[in-house]
Amino acid sequence: MTYGSAILDSLVEMCLDTGRALRLHAALPSASMRVPPNLMQWIDSSIGFEKCRRPSMESTAIELHQQVVFTFVVSYVSDEKFTDDIMIAVDRHTLGDDTDLLDSHVNVYFADAGAGRVDAADNADAASAADAQTLAHPRPLLHPYSEVAAVAAGILEESALPQHMGYQRQAALYCRQELSKLLRYYHETIGQLKSREESTTDADRRRRLAAKIQATLAEKERRSVDLIERYRVHASARLDSAAVRIMPKVRARLQVQHMRETLHQDVFYNLASSSIEPIACPVCHRRSAVMYPANTMAKPPENLETDFVCPRHVD
């Protein structure tokens, strides 16, 4: 599969070199820009912390978060060509995989802020954020587009793999049928040549037949390889479009007691979609509604700076 540097180059070129991407703002009435009074109750019913006591709220803040939505066109090519459109979404703050959250944003109205230099806009936001008094709703730390692109490329490859394998299995079925016919033909042809070689007493004729047998064997090998390659499904992808969605979220800073340790975890309530978001695992970037203390990992990565991880990393 030809994922990797080509996709990253395309993403970085679009988001960094030209710096142009569609910017969309979630349009909400000012009355909605508040912390829900029953937020902790919603968190308790949506997020679980295993091997821990019930969490408590430490603080809340309303922030403007960015989500980058990429649309890729993935092509699967062998003797035929198929294409799929795949949307991938990544949170620029947590680098979490937001793809499964896109359905919850269907009813959100996004106002088009126009295509502009996203890097320049981010710099302006950062400059304003330096003076917290000038922003009613500050923006959290944002990861560079190069890091967002790397995460998106990994998610894309994982998302496209099942379809790629499905096309490959289908192609392999036709390949086996064609290969069976080809091998049967050469088995019969070589058998006839060997029979003629064994029945002749002419030395020159035997040498010619022996040479022809070797040439036929080589041709069989070459055509078999060509046939297998013809039915091999090659997957490639190109970036079709990218959009930056800006949405207000409530950052709820939680205190969680694990044995004698006091741990912390941020949970986000999306004011645009009116939903608690599953937590983005800092290790794999996948989202999970259940989290485990990082010290329960069998083999924690070096320099792991997080209190919680998703169940995929706990034995």
Question: Model's pTM, two decimal places?
Answer: 0.77
Answer with the residue of higher pLDDT: 4 or 220: 220
User: What is the pLDDT at residue 180?
Assistant: 96
| Cα–Cα distance for residue pair 213/108, rounded to 1 Å | 71
Cross-strand partners of 291: 49
> Cα(303)–Cα(113) distance, rounded to whole angstroms?
39
What percent of the chain lies above the pLDDT cut of 70?
85
Q: How much is the pLDDT for 298?
A: 79
What pLDDT was estimated at residue 228?
A: 92
Sequence-separated (6 or more) residues with CB below 8 Å from residue 94: 280, 282, 285
The per-residue pLDDT for 299 is 80
Reported confidence tier of residue 13, pLDDT bands at 50, 70, 90: low
Mean pLDDT of 81-104: 95
pLDDT above 60: residue 118: no
Contacts of 224 (CB under 8 A, 6+ apart): 179, 182, 183
Task: Report the alpha-carbon distance of residue 247 to residue 148 in Å, rounded.
Answer: 17
Could you tell me if 248 and 30 are in contact, meaning their C-beta atoms sit under 8 angstroms apart?
Answer: no
Secondary element (H or E) of residue 245? strand 234-258
The CA angle 11-266-43, to the nearest 5 degrees, is: 115
166-206 pLDDT tens trace: 999 999 999 999 999 999 999 999 999 999 999 988 889 99
If pLDDT is split at 50, 70 and 90, which confidence band does 109 have? very high
Which DSSP letter does residue 97 get?
B
